[in-house]
Amino acid sequence: MKLSKTNQRRVILEELRKLTSHPTADELYDIVRMRLPQISLGTVYRNLEQLSIAGIIKKLELSGKQKRFDGNINLHYHMRCKKCHCVVDVEHAKLMDLEFMLNNLVSDLDFQGYHLELLGLCNNCRMHKA
């Protein structure tokens, strides 16, 4: 999918790529409005969806929660904190082997992907555990 380069799309992408917090569309809308006060929430939602379909960003659909977005499209995994619900990147060599193993395991099927969600406590919640 070829996307036209609009100023709104450019700003949305720039702001998303500055973040490691995997924001929801609503959270990103609040940030983008600082630069583009007239932008609508619908415009942010539409652009995030189009950027996701085009493979420019990742859309994270985790356990029935609001969709979150990631500007980092390099291979990595995510862990959702069971306490504060933040989403953090997980990059571990053994997890990276997972894709190779799954592809070999289901070679006789029309394997099109998988959804892996890691659960636990983020560093902040783990340090303040009561």
Model confidence pLDDT, tens digit, residues 18-52: 999 999 999 999 999 999 999 999 999 999 999 99
pLDDT at 130: 56
Q: What is the pLDDT of residue 29?
A: 98
CATH pick for 7-70 out of 3.40.50.720, 1.10.10.10, 3.40.50.11750, 3.40.120.10: 1.10.10.10
Q: Is the pLDDT of residue 127 over 70?
A: yes
With a CB cutoff of 8 Å and minimum separation 6, the contacts of 19 are 28, 31, 71
Q: Are 68 and 123 in contact (CB under 8 A)?
A: no
Question: Tokens standing for 40?
Answer: 């609508």
List every span in the chain annotated with CATH 1.10.10.10: 7-70
Q: Is the pLDDT of residue 64 over 70?
A: no
Position 106 confidence tier, pLDDT thresholds 50, 70, 90: low
Alpha-carbon span 102 to 114, nearest angstrom: 9
| C-alpha span between 22 and 38 (Å, rounded) | 23
Task: Dump pLDDT digits (tens) for 65-95.
Answer: 789 999 999 888 899 999 988 899 987 777 7
CATH of 77-127, picked from 1.10.1200.10, 3.40.980.10, 3.40.50.2300, 3.30.1490.190, is 3.30.1490.190
